[in-house]
C-alpha cells in the first residue's frame, strides 16, 4: 500500500496529511475567468444592500516636519485638511484608477488624520447601498490621503514613510461582517 506524499505542511483539521484541502476546491479569484483572463465581476444579479468599509494607514514624518505641521508653518498650506479632501475625492474616483473596480455612488466618506508621536494615523470609512462593497474605496482614500501628506511636506522632508495600509472592517453583502484581528 502506497502512503500519500507529504506536502511538508503539518496536517490540520481542514487538510489531509498530504496537504490536500478537505473542504473542497480552493477558492477562486473572482476577477479571473476560466481561461485565466482578468475580467470585471458581473454583479447585476446581486441584491443591493448597505455596505461599509474602514481602512487605515500610517504616515511617518521627521520630528521637525511634525512641528511644522502642528504649528501651521507648511508653505503649501494645511497638509491635514488637504489630505482629508484628497482622500474623499480619491474614494469617489476609485473606479477610474483601479481597472476592475465598479463605479459606485458613495453615500458617505470620512477621512481622519490622528496625530501620533512619529506621524499620523489615517482612517477612512466609506458607505454605499449597492451590489458590491466599498473596501477598495476606503483603501484608496487612505492611500491618497497619505500621498497628499507627502506632497505637501516633501520640500522639507523627503524621508516620509507611508505604510501599513490595510482594511480594518467591512460590513454588508453576502459575507456580512469581517473585522481584522488587531
Among residues 34, 45, 110, 151, which one is catalytic?
151
Calculate the dihedral angle through the C-alpha atoms of 17, 30, 97, 107, rounding to the nearest 10 degrees: -110
Q: How does DSSP classify residue 24?
A: S
Q: How does DSSP classify residue 71?
A: T
Which among 50, 18, 53, 56 has a CA at the least distance from the CA of 143?
56
In the residue annotation, 151 being an active-site residue is answered as yes
Lookup: cell for 75: 508653505
3-state secondary structure 116-171: ECCEEEEEEEEEEEECCCCHHHHHHHHHHHHHHHHHHHCCCCCCCEEEEEEEEEEE
Q: How does DSSP classify residue 46?
A: S
Strand partners, 163: 58
Which among 57, 55, 53 has a CA at the least distance from the CA of 146?
57
Lookup: cell for 180: 481584522
Catalytic residue list: 151
Amino acid at each position: 500500500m502506497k502512503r500519500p506524499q507529504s506536502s511538508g505542511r503539518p496536517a490540520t483539521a481542514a487538510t489531509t496529511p498530504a496537504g490536500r484541502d478537505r473542504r473542497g476546491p480552493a477558492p477562486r479569484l473572482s476577477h479571473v475567468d476560466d481561461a485565466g483572463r482578468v475580467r470585471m465581476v458581473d454583479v447585476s444579479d446581486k441584491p443591493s444592500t448597505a455596505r461599509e468599509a474602514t481602512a487605515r494607514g500610517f504616515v511617518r514624518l521627521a520630528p521637525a516636519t511634525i512641528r511644522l505641521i502642528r504649528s501651521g508653518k507648511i508653505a503649501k498650506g494645511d497638509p491635514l485638511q488637504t489630505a482629508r479632501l484628497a482622500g474623499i475625492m480619491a474614494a469617489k474616483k476609485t473606479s477610474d484608477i483601479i481597472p476592475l473596480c465598479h463605479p459606485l455612488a458613495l453615500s458617505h466618506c470620512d477621512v481622519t488624520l490622528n496625530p501620533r508621536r512619529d506621524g499620523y494615523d489615517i482612517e477612512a470609512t466609506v458607505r454605499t447601498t449597492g451590489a458590491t462593497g466599498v473596501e477598495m474605496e476606503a483603501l484608496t482614500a487612505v492611500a491618497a490621503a497619505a500621498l497628499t501628506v507627502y506632497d505637501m511636506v516633501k520640500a522639507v522632508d523627503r524621508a516620509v514613510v507611508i505604510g501599513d495600509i490595510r482594511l480594518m472592517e467591512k460590513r454588508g453583502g453576502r459575507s456580512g461582517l469581517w473585522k481584522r484581528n488587531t
